[in-house]
C-alpha cells in the first residue's frame, strides 16, 4: 500500500491501523445510485481510502436534485450523475480508482457488474430495483448494504452478509406500493444521515470491526431524533439460481413500453383510450380526464379483470416508476396495448399547464 499522510488520523485508531487501511485500499465497492443517498455515501468511502468504487446511475442532474444531492453544483445541471460523481470523488481522493456506469441497472447487467465488486450498496429509491439488487447479490454471494427514506425517516440494514437474512426476509411482498422521494417528499438532511450510516456499515464490513446490521434494521427519525433497532430472522423459503434470475428479470423487463404525454394530448377525450392513474387517492396533482379512471397500484391485481385485454391503456403514477410496475403486471396478464407515461402526473400537469388545457 502506498504510504500517505491522507489517512493518518484513522490509521492511529487501534481498530484500523495500517492493516485496516490496507484492507480498505484493496476493497471494491459498487454503489447503485448517485442521488441523495449516493451523494452522502460516495465522499465518505472515497475519503476513507476504499480502493475501488463503482457508480451506477443512468440519470442526469436536475435542479430539483440539488437540495439533497449536495455533491453537485448548479453549473452541472443536465450532466450525467455517474460521470460527474466520478469526477467529484476523484477530486476528493485521486489515490483511488473510480468507474462510472451511466446505465440503468437491469437483469442483463447486474450479475456481470456485481461479480467485480466485494460489497454492493443500495442507494436507490425504487422498490423493484431493490429486489433486483437483492436477488443479484444472492446469485453472486455479495452483501447488500441497504438504505431507504420515507419523508423524515430512514432505514439501514445489511442483507446477505455471511449467509444472513436477505431483503426478501424483511420485505417478502414484492408488490409493495411504497412511494419514492419524488412522490413522498424528502429533506436533504434525512438522506445525508442515512447515507453516512450506510457508509459506516461498508467500512465495518471491510475492516471486520463493530457489529454489522445483519438481521437487524435501524430506523432513524430526524424530527425527534429517535432511533430503534429491530431484529428479523432469515427465511428459508426463497432461493434463487442464476437461471431463476435470468428467467425472472429478463422475461418482462424489456417489454415495458413508455410514451411521452405530449404525443397523447389528442387522446384525452378519445373513448377508445383509457388513462389509468395508479396513484393513491390522496396524491396531488389531480389528473382527471373524461376517459380516465383511478386504481391504486396496490389494488390493481385484484381489479385487473375489470379492464379489457385489447383496450388501449396509458398508465401514469406520480413520476413514472409505479406505472412501469403496473405495465409489467398487465404484460404478465396478457394485456397487449398498455404503455407507461414517462414522467407521470408531474410531467403531465406541467404540459397541460403549458398547453392551457
Q: Given this structure, which CATH class describes domain 255-355?
A: alpha beta
Helix (H, G, I), strand (E, B) or coil at 293: strand
Helix (H) / strand (E) containing 78:
none
- Residue pointed to by grid coordinates 442515512: 194
* Cell numbers linked to 47: 475519503
319's CB contacts (< 8 A; 6+ apart) are 180, 182, 183, 343, 344, 345, 346, 347
For 49, other C-beta atoms within 10 Å of its C-beta total 24
pLDDT in tens, the chain (357 residues): 455 799 999 999 999 999 999 999 999 999 999 989 999 999 999 999 999 999 999 888 888 888 888 888 899 888 899 999 999 999 999 999 999 999 889 898 999 999 999 999 999 988 889 999 999 999 999 999 999 998 888 999 999 999 999 999 998 877 655 555 555 567 778 999 999 999 999 999 999 999 999 999 999 998 999 999 999 999 867 788 898 898 888 754 456 789 999 999 999 989 999 999 999 888 889 999 999 999 999 899 999 999 999 999 999 998 888 898 899 889 888 898 999 999 899 889 989 988 776
Kind of pairing, strands 153-159 and 216-221?
antiparallel
Strand boundaries in the chain, DSSP class E: 28-32, 52-56, 97-101, 119-122, 144-150, 153-159, 216-221, 226-231, 258-259, 273-277, 292-294, 312-316, 338-341
208's CB contacts (< 8 A; 6+ apart) are 23
Measured distance CA(220)–CA(228) in Å, rounded: 7
Which of 299, 277, 296 is closest to 287 using CA atoms? 277
Residues of the chain with CATH 3.40.50.720: 5-251
Category of 351 on φ-ψ map: left (φ > 0), alpha (ψ -120 to 50) or beta = alpha
Give phi and psi for 298, each to the nearest 5: -60, -30
Give this prediction's pTM.
Answer: 0.73
Q: Is residue 225 packed enough to be buried (19+ CB in 10 Å), middle (13-18) or exposed (0-12)?
A: exposed
What is the predicted pLDDT for the residue at 251?
A: 58
Give every strand in the sheet of 292-294, ordered side by side. 258-259, 338-341, 312-316, 273-277, 292-294
For 256, other C-beta atoms within 10 Å of its C-beta total 18
Residues of the chain with CATH 3.40.250.10: 255-355
The CATH code of domain 5-251 reads 3.40.50.720
CB 25 within 8 A of CB 97: no
What is the predicted pLDDT for the residue at 71?
A: 85
Which of 127, 97, 123, 129 is closest to 110 using CA atoms? 129
Amino acid at each position: 500500500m502506498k504510504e500517505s499522510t491522507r489517512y493518518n488520523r484513522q490509521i492511529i485508531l487501534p481498530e484500523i491501523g495500517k492493516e485496516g487501511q490496507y484492507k480498505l485500499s484493496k476493497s471494491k465497492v459498487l454503489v447503485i445510485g448517485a442521488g441523495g443517498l449516493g451523494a452522502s455515501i460516495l465522499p465518505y468511502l472515497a475519503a476513507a481510502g476504499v480502493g475501488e468504487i463503482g457508480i451506477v446511475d443512468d440519470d442526469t442532474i436536475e435542479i430539483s436534485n440539488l437540495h439533497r444531492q449536495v455533491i453537485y453544483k448548479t453549473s452541472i445541471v443536465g450532466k450525467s450523475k455517474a460521470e460527474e460523481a466520478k469526477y467529484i470523488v476523484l477530486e476528493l481522493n485521486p489515490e483511488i480508482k473510480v468507474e462510472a456506469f451511466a446505465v440503468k441497472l437491469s437483469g442483463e447487467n447486474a450479475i456481470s457488474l456485481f461479480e467485480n465488486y466485494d460489497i454492493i450498496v443500495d442507494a436507490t429509491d425504487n422498490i423493484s430495483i431493490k429486489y433486483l439488487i437483492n436477488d443479484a447479490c444472492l446469485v453472486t454471494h455479495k452483501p447488500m448494504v441497504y438504505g431507504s427514506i420515507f419523508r423524515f425517516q430512514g432505514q439501514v440494514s445489511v442483507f446477505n452478509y455471511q449467509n444472513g437474512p436477505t431483503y426478501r426476509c424483511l420485505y417478502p411482498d414484492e408488490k409493495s406500493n411504497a412511494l419514492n422521494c419524488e412522490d413522498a417528499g424528502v429533506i436533504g438532511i434525512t438522506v445525508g444521515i442515512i447515507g453516512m450510516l450506510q457508509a459506516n456499515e461498508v467500512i465495518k464490513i471491510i475492516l471486520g470491526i463493530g457489529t454489522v446490521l445483519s438481521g437487524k434494521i435501524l430506523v432513524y427519525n430526524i424530527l425527534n431524533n429517535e432511533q430503534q433497532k429491530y431484529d428479523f430472522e432469515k427465511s428459508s423459503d426463497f432461493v434463487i439460481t442464476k437461471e431463476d434470475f435470468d428467467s425472472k428479470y429478463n422475461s418482462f423487463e424489456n417489454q415495458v413500453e413508455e410514451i411521452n404525454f405530449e404525443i397523447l394530448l389528442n387522446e384525452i377525450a378519445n373513448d377508445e383510450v383509457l388513462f389509468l392513474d395508479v396513484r393513491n387517492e390522496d396524491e396531488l396533482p389531480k389528473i382527471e380526464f373524461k376517459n380516465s379512471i383511478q386504481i391504486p397500484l396496490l389494488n390493481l391485481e385484484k381489479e385487473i379483470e375489470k379492464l379489457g385485454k385489447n383496450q388501449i391503456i396509458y398508465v401514469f403514477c406520480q413520476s413514472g416508476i409505479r406505472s412501469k410496475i403496473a405495465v409489467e403486471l398487465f404484460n404478465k396478464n396478457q394485456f397487449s396495448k398498455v404503455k407507461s407515461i414517462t414522467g407521470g402526473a408531474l410531467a403531465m400537469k406541467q404540459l397541460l399547464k403549458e398547453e392551457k388545457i
